[in-house]
Structure 1
Amino acid sequence: MWNLIKILLLLVGCIWVCGQNKLDTLPAWKVNFTKFGGTPTLSPKGKWIAINKFSGNGADTTYIAETANGKKIHKISGTANFINEHLIIGKSRDKVEIYNLNNGDKVQYANISNIYILAKSNRYALLTNNKEIAIYEAREKIGQLNNVQGFGISRENKLFIVRKNENIFEIWDLAAKNIHCIYRTVNPVRKIEASISGNKLFITELVQDHDSDQLTIVNKAENNLKVEIPKLAEISFTEIQKGKAFLINASVRSRESPSKVVDIWYGNDAFLGLDKFYFKPVLRKFWFYNPDEISAKELKLPHDLDIKSLNSKRYFLCYIPRKDFNYLTSNLSPEDLNDAAIYDRITDSLITIGSFKAMSRLNRRKVYKTIYEQIVSSPDGKKFLASTDGLKWTLFDVSGKLESVIEKEGLELPVFSGKSDNIYFESSDGLWIYNLKTKHLMQTKIAQGQITRIKSNIYKNDNRILSTSVDGPFLIEGYNLQSNITTYFLSENGKLRIVVPPTGNRINHIIFDQKFKDLYTLEENFNLPPFLQHYTMEKKGETFFENNNTDKKAAKIKQEILTFDAVGQKLNGILYYPIDFNPKQKYPMVVHIYQRQRQESNEYLSPNNDFPVGFQIRTLIERGYFVFLPDILYDDSGTGLSALECVNRGLDRVLLNPNIDSEKIGLGGHSHGGYETNFIATHSNRFTAYVSGAGNSDIIRSYYSYNNNFISPFYWQFESEQYALGKSVAEDKSLYLKNSPILNVQNVSAPILLWAGKKDENIQWDQVMEFFIGLKRYKKDVIALFYPDQSHAFFNGTPAEKDLTERIIQWWDYYLKNEKDIEWINQMKKDAD
């Protein structure tokens, strides 16, 4: 059925140019790898599906195929979106193209800075670089405005613009049946924002020569409400029960200019460094806005309290922001919420409910627990979930009364049913259901023993409070971390069925129509470039956007999953063979380390992949290397010692392969993998050479450092997250000393290449310099590459990335292939002489 599509897309999919041996051809070789990416989109009625083709410079083409039978296929420049069932609009730089899928007609526009689509009203708007906006219905221009100042867009196809007309600021509704001005003011408009429900417009006005500014709320009935707000206040609002009410917050940032002489840091500052990046208000005001009464009542509370919506028209959560925050997680929002209270708007009273701990969730890609929002409210505004111990969820009535403790640890994100009668829990052991009437928790048969994620629920985030709900049929993803297999289930009318059978392919995106009759997945695997798969009730999978045949060598890639025991657990390692593998030869091998890497085994091997950083698997296997990615997990001995054990046990297993030259093995990693490489280099003699990028060398110094990337002191990374040491330095100094590479730098026995960007705000670049200085002191073979304008990782295609890529490959070739005619490496030997 899809033969025509296959033939056409073979011409435009992932293009392969035969691998080159010379490094000066490497950038040109990499550029020729393109792949399908982004999120595929369905037309409003599902007749067409669109998917982007990405090149090294971003999306440059969109392909559109008819979903029914594949008889028609079209393409359009740039990233595209559907206007209606037969019109699609694409934008590439400042050029726009409108394409009629029924007859192939095209209309092009130039000098366009942005496009806005109003699918429900069959309209789109084009904004020029000259700040003129033209509005079209189908392809007929129905209006044009100049002097456009700004926009406010809602999720319900609303488009409002600010236009200056002489000395008057006008707000125009471009989605209305008859485009018209809905509000005029002499005050400059600082911001406009539409409510999610779409029927309210919030306008922040700068009132000149006055001590206060003004918030105007525009209603459909033109009964506008004006609220006096603090000068230069930033306005935010939270919808309550889909627009039945609103909580309005006006916050004023400190306007004091920082001292040019001294920057003062205080030991009790819970906002340390955040004032430069994070909204740290010095004044807050809150209002409860009732649209039915066309009134906004200010909530009078102590000035240091923050107020958050619990999706209730009466009760709100109050707390002192970041009180007693101790920076033990990476969150900008603190991990604990101390001395919380419920504010009763009717009685104007506060009810103390205690302190809450943040819950954790398994990060599937990084494969360790991360902290997330810790208060989840129901869609009807009657209940909320929180945790008093960070291990189990507790159910509260919205008034603050404790209803029940859900006696199970390991339950992750809760999602309420649309009727608020059940709570579904994601977990690392299948999907669980808690019945709010019977107070009974039950494990479903869905994905038992697997990581589960509900894929079609609604999330509303208010920095602290999460309101979740799912109504009607919903989709659940089950993921088996050990086998790297994914399954999708559909829950409908109390019945469960598999809609995407278990697959070892990586599913990057899944899209579906409203009735779940048709599902489309964007899939890939290590030897399969991304392709689009179609699933229906009758068919369990049919490929119709495939491009794997264009990468001639992809099918030749051989991968083997090995198992080994280390740190008391069963681990995996991914072994890639040289692409033209000859079983009669021996080959060098390069080992890449980070943490658990089993989940990377089904990523398509393009040389442009973002992971691993500075380590191109495809390039290496093309050049005749084995590549090995062992899992690394940790036990009580500490991060470095655990990594050493995992790598040693992984090496013991992989070297059972007689084609690997045990005398020519390299080890490399970036960031956390760079730290692990540094540590292993100080404790091992099994490697011929090392490459370490942006890695810590002195973990005690790093523990006591400030991380500008996460905007906080860095000790959370060691105690509760990636390093997983579980203790402070003061609690177990020897643990940190035993796992700090710099203290054994004199033991490095093989040449090591270090690299870092000098604008790295995650791992301080001078951690790399420190390791270099230590190696130099003890006359070790070391070269350090410092890139002045780069940060933690380099963007693909930049001069720095090209330089680093070539030097790393040359380093491996020099030490693992004896290709000694490389001057910049030979210079190290000359300096030694």
Structure 2
Amino acid sequence: MGQYNIDSIKQRYATFYTIAHFKVSDDNRWISFSKIYKKNTDTTIVANADKQQSIKAVLVGVSESYFLRDNRFFWLGNGKAQIINLRNGGKKEFKEVSKIEILPTLGYYAVLYKSRFLEVFDSKDKLVTSVSDVTQLVSNKRDKLYVIVKQNNLSSVWSLQSKEFKKVYTSEQGIKKIMLAPSQKYLAVTEQEKSSDGLQLVLLDTNSLKVSRVGNGFIKSDYIEVREINNGVAFFLDFNSRPKPAPTAQPEIKYGTDPDLWLYRMGEQYHEYWVYDVKSEQSQKVNPDLAFMAAMDHDRYFLSFDREERSAYISSVSWFDIYLYDRFVKTSKKILTQTSNLVVSRGGEFIIGFNEEKKRWILYHTLSSKETIIENAEIQRPVFSEDNRYAFFESSSGLYQLDLHTQNQPPIALTENIKVAILNVKEDVIYGTLGADFRIRSINAKKPIIFEQYDQNSNETSYAEWFQDKIKVLLPTTKNRVSDFKIISGNKTFFSLEENFNIPQIIYKYNGALKKKVFQSNIHDRKIYTAKQEVLSYKNSLGVSIKGVLYYPLNFDAQKKYPLVVSIYEVQNKSASVYPYPYFSGIGVNIRSLIDNGYFVFLPDVVLDSRGPGFSALDCVHSGLDALKGYTNIESSRVGLMGHSFGGFGTSFIASHSNRFAAYISGAAVTDLVKFYFSFSQERKLPNYPRFENGQFDMKVPFSQNKMLYYDNSPIANVEKVNKPIFLWAGLKDGNVPYDHTEEFYTGLLRNKKKAVVLYYRDQDHDLAKNSAESIDLHLRILEWWGYFLKDKRDIPWIDKEIKRGAN
């Protein structure tokens, strides 16, 4: 491959980066962020938020960082900690460091050395106190600091009190870990019995230092999951054991009505549940009828459910029947069926679960046992007000407010027909394994609700707050993509991280109506400012409105004609506002490298319907090409189609049904829907048929009910009709779409003597590792393939070997 200079390409691509881990100091004077390079070591930048491009520090290898009072920045990386005075540049360094902590309310910071020696300093860098033999430290990031000290085979817990450490608890056994409860009223201490490795929980009152032992002695388990209930009224303990699986028996036996495929994926789990009542100081072992329990912030009622799913694995998500367990009377009753997602209010009075069969959210009141179906198909993730008066719902058509007592549910004015996401939600996951998603989600409705608004029609974003029935715009409507938005509580100043197709990422500072640029990324990329793009709106043959994003070649000349590369996946129009920078992609598609090299690039949306995913993709792509017919600068005879994964499937299908393309590139594609439907995912350890019936392929019916739909939408069924050269590639370690789909399609092409090249990357997965030798190889071959077929660049040996084979 000699058409492109790989060294110069690598050198150029290495200069581009994205911004991540964006932070703002409490006084809004300083910002920090990471420059994420695809190849080079990442760096952390600290800058002045009041001046443009005013960099105060450039740091390498930062793993942890904080802003301190008095304009100082505290960071840790590669065993070194450092405090930088951002005003005068002064530095204080610490070597051989394993952990740092801050206590801003006290004006303290702490440094734990690899030697297990801990030092605490004040804001003047004066040593306050120290302690040796520290194995763990826990902080609330404000004013509390606890450590485990292990000396002479004896473990103890020490607390920072004023200006010194005091021993607050000593164990004759080992102390495995400590955890500060969310209320900060208690420190949960996990003890490990030396003779048996059994575990026991000790609760330490952080004010009185009173010690309470929970449960009935040491219990054999791998770990204890501790959840505080109702701000410290009680505690829920899950003693969890996961024994190592026994060697697989020969033969391995599975059954056609197996309700417990999770067992093969997760391994066996054993649980022993306890509830500790703080006021009575009593521990109660809880034995529900079902296998699993979750605390929902109520000291009497708990959720319980079985591992056996109710979906028969036909859904991409797991469904469970949910029971309410009453620990006082020791009974369970079913309250929700076929539930995939579940949200609980603070205090556990209300539960809202999504019923997969009815496709509706169900409201359940634990005190009255009243169940209400919320008849609104548009609403999405709920969040409760902390006073249990309202539930708010995000949706694609506005923000909805449900009165939990009157059931009235109007949309909040001025948010209608706009996709809304609430930002300032307090959220706790109460159960997140076995495919379940159970959470407590709350918001303080006595303070403004901050939310993002996204208009899907205009691709515009804005940020606003809603309070006392009034909406105040914070960030005005912009066509830029806003990837981060930060506002300090009670402050009128906020920051945004924005970008667009012709604007690299920028950090802005807003102060009222005043908008100021603080930092511009990739300032060297001056060419992108000349980039041109259009978002086209059109309809497919069924009259469904869809969009496509058209990128013009950089340095576009209206007097010239250019080739076009069409890249497909699913709905892509939201990516119109994403800054396209060049890098060696793991999926082969790189918009910037194509427009840099003189191609139009078109991203048509693919929406699915009852015809199946293949015919839907074909129709959407052809409709998109029809919408481009008036673009005289596009050379219609030089159009290529490419895609990866689901886009690779669409590409392979279209290649066997279309005559509108000069060549194709298909990566990691499903080519036989029937085979894939009846296969087992090695990644998920579950069948693949949910991906068809209710998942990405959205067939809506099982194979048994419409076999021809599956056959007809399989690229392999018409492989003999591929009439233009096609380039296939796959990773041999692909656990998502096994490479044998690519092999099968190649075999079909081979049998029918079609022009094709296939690449197998031996050590790669579904996506090639970014910036790996394989992704660089693929990147260059894609450029050469399009150059060969869309620009008449010949004499490329690896392509010539196939195309010229048998030529006269």
TM-score, structure 1 normalization: 0.89
- The match for 1:238 is 227
Q: Work out which of the residue numbers 376, 388, 397 in structure 2 matches 1:420.
A: 388
Looking at structure 1, the residues matched to 468 and 283 of structure 2 have their Cα atoms a distance apart, in angstroms, of 41
Looking at structure 2, the residues matched to 21 and 454 of structure 1 have their Cα atoms a distance apart, in angstroms, of 47
- Secondary structure at the counterpart of residue 637 of structure 2: strand
Deviation at 1:549, TM superposition (A): 4.9
- Secondary structure at the counterpart of residue 727 of structure 1: coil
What per-residue deviation string (whole Å, max 9, x for no partner) do you get for residues 170-190 of structure 1?
Answer: 334468752344333343444
- The match for 1:199 is 185
- The match for 1:383 is 350
Deviation at 1:455, TM superposition (A): 0.8
- Secondary structure at the counterpart of residue 394 of structure 1: strand
Contact 2:292 2:304 in 1 (8 A): yes
Counterparts in 2 of 1:129 and 1:704: CA distance versus 1, 3 Å: farther
Q: Work out which of the residue numbers 279, 303, 316 in structure 2 matches 1:330.
A: 316
**Residue type of the alignment partner of 2:345:** S
Worse-matched range after superposition: 405-414 or 496-505 = 405-414
Contact 2:316 2:694 in 1 (8 A): no
Q: Work out which of the residue numbers 12, 30, 37 in structure 1 matches 2:13.
A: 30
Contact 2:296 2:347 in 1 (8 A): no
- 1:554 paired with 2:528, answer yes
- The match for 1:530 is 505
- 1:774 paired with 2:763, answer no
- The match for 1:16 is none
Q: Work out which of the residue numbers 47, 62, 86 in structure 2 matches 1:101.
A: 86
- The match for 1:295 is 282
1:502-651 paired onto structure 2 within 5 Å: 502-539=477-514, 541-547=515-521, 549-566=523-540, 567-608=542-583, 613-651=587-625
Worse-matched range after superposition: 470-479 or 209-218 = 209-218
Counterparts in 2 of 1:130 and 1:680: CA distance versus 1, 3 Å: farther
Counterparts in 2 of 1:74 and 1:279: CA distance versus 1, 3 Å: farther
Worse-matched range after superposition: 176-185 or 466-475 = 176-185
Contact 2:45 2:55 in 1 (8 A): no
- The match for 1:494 is 469
Q: Work out which of the residue numbers 395, 405, 426 in structure 2 matches 1:437.
A: 405
- 1:684 paired with 2:658, answer yes
Q: Work out which of the residue numbers 772, 788, 798 in structure 2 matches 1:824.
A: 798
Counterparts in 2 of 1:108 and 1:776: CA distance versus 1, 3 Å: farther
1:11-30 paired onto structure 2 within 5 Å: 22-30=5-13
What per-residue deviation string (whole Å, max 9, x for no partner) do you get for residues 665-694 of structure 1?
Answer: 111111111111111111112111111111
Q: Which runs of 5+ in 1 are unaligned?
A: 1-19, 359-372
Q: Work out which of the residue numbers 60, 63, 78 in structure 1 matches 2:43.
A: 60
1:79-228 paired onto structure 2 within 5 Å: 79=62, 80-129=65-114, 132-138=117-123, 139-144=125-130, 148-150=134-136, 152=138, 159-173=145-159, 177-210=163-196, 212-220=198-206, 221-226=208-213, 227=215, 228=217
Deviation at 1:654, TM superposition (A): 1.5
Deviation at 1:544, TM superposition (A): 2.4
Looking at structure 1, the residues matched to 696 and 162 of structure 2 have their Cα atoms a distance apart, in angstroms, of 51
Looking at structure 1, the residues matched to 210 and 225 of structure 2 have their Cα atoms a distance apart, in angstroms, of 21
Worse-matched range after superposition: 621-630 or 56-65 = 56-65
Deviation at 1:756, TM superposition (A): 1.6
Looking at structure 1, the residues matched to 45 and 667 of structure 2 have their Cα atoms a distance apart, in angstroms, of 36
Q: Work out which of the residue numbers 433, 440, 448 in structure 2 matches 1:467.
A: 440
Looking at structure 2, the residues matched to 693 and 305 of structure 1 have their Cα atoms a distance apart, in angstroms, of 42
**Residue type of the alignment partner of 1:768:** T
Worse-matched range after superposition: 565-574 or 387-396 = 387-396
TM-score, structure 2 normalization: 0.92
Deviation at 1:741, TM superposition (A): 0.7
Contact 1:306 1:318 in 2 (8 A): yes
Contact 1:230 1:252 in 2 (8 A): no
Counterparts in 2 of 1:713 and 1:144: CA distance versus 1, 3 Å: farther
- 1:457 paired with 2:425, answer yes
- Secondary structure at the counterpart of residue 237 of structure 2: strand
Deviation at 1:770, TM superposition (A): 1.7
Contact 1:135 1:144 in 2 (8 A): yes
Counterparts in 2 of 1:158 and 1:630: CA distance versus 1, 3 Å: farther
Q: Percent identity?
A: 30
Counterparts in 2 of 1:812 and 1:94: CA distance versus 1, 3 Å: farther
Deviation at 1:129, TM superposition (A): 4.9
What per-residue deviation string (whole Å, max 9, x for no partner) do you get for residues 802-829 of structure 1?
Answer: 1221111111112211222222222334
Worse-matched range after superposition: 306-315 or 178-187 = 178-187
- The match for 1:361 is none
Looking at structure 2, the residues matched to 115 and 772 of structure 1 have their Cα atoms a distance apart, in angstroms, of 55
Worse-matched range after superposition: 284-293 or 76-85 = 76-85
Q: Work out which of the residue numbers 240, 247, 272 in structure 2 matches 1:258.
A: 247
Looking at structure 2, the residues matched to 826 and 738 of structure 1 have their Cα atoms a distance apart, in angstroms, of 33
Deviation at 1:71, TM superposition (A): 11
Counterparts in 2 of 1:661 and 1:145: CA distance versus 1, 3 Å: farther
Worse-matched range after superposition: 97-106 or 258-267 = 258-267
Q: Work out which of the residue numbers 253, 256, 261 in structure 2 matches 1:272.
A: 261
Looking at structure 2, the residues matched to 646 and 323 of structure 1 have their Cα atoms a distance apart, in angstroms, of 36
Looking at structure 1, the residues matched to 96 and 775 of structure 2 have their Cα atoms a distance apart, in angstroms, of 32
Looking at structure 1, the residues matched to 99 and 259 of structure 2 have their Cα atoms a distance apart, in angstroms, of 40
Looking at structure 1, the residues matched to 574 and 450 of structure 2 have their Cα atoms a distance apart, in angstroms, of 22
Contact 1:328 1:720 in 2 (8 A): yes
Q: Work out which of the residue numbers 28, 36, 39 in structure 2 matches 1:46.
A: 28
Looking at structure 2, the residues matched to 515 and 624 of structure 1 have their Cα atoms a distance apart, in angstroms, of 50
- 1:407 paired with 2:375, answer yes
What per-residue deviation string (whole Å, max 9, x for no partner) do you get for residues 431-477 of structure 1?
Answer: 11111233211111232112110011111111243211111112111
Contact 2:101 2:139 in 1 (8 A): no
Looking at structure 1, the residues matched to 117 and 249 of structure 2 have their Cα atoms a distance apart, in angstroms, of 42
Deviation at 1:735, TM superposition (A): 0.7
Deviation at 1:271, TM superposition (A): 4.0
Deviation at 1:156, TM superposition (A): 6.1
- Secondary structure at the counterpart of residue 103 of structure 1: coil
**Residue type of the alignment partner of 1:480:** D
Contact 2:73 2:85 in 1 (8 A): yes
Contact 1:410 1:427 in 2 (8 A): yes
**Residue type of the alignment partner of 2:274:** W
Looking at structure 2, the residues matched to 584 and 71 of structure 1 have their Cα atoms a distance apart, in angstroms, of 39
Looking at structure 2, the residues matched to 132 and 766 of structure 1 have their Cα atoms a distance apart, in angstroms, of 56
Looking at structure 2, the residues matched to 488 and 478 of structure 1 have their Cα atoms a distance apart, in angstroms, of 6
Looking at structure 2, the residues matched to 803 and 694 of structure 1 have their Cα atoms a distance apart, in angstroms, of 16
Q: Report the number of matched residues.
A: 788
Q: Which runs of 5+ in 2 are unaligned?
A: 432-436
Contact 2:82 2:92 in 1 (8 A): yes
Counterparts in 2 of 1:100 and 1:410: CA distance versus 1, 3 Å: same
Counterparts in 2 of 1:323 and 1:151: CA distance versus 1, 3 Å: farther
Looking at structure 2, the residues matched to 673 and 242 of structure 1 have their Cα atoms a distance apart, in angstroms, of 49
1:606-755 paired onto structure 2 within 5 Å: 606-608=581-583, 613-755=587-729
What per-residue deviation string (whole Å, max 9, x for no partner) do you get for residues 471-493 of structure 1?
Answer: 11121111112221111111123
Deviation at 1:604, TM superposition (A): 0.4
Superposition CA RMSD, Å: 2.6
Deviation at 1:582, TM superposition (A): 1.2
Contact 1:505 1:523 in 2 (8 A): yes
Deviation at 1:345, TM superposition (A): 2.2
Looking at structure 1, the residues matched to 143 and 780 of structure 2 have their Cα atoms a distance apart, in angstroms, of 48
Counterparts in 2 of 1:306 and 1:783: CA distance versus 1, 3 Å: same
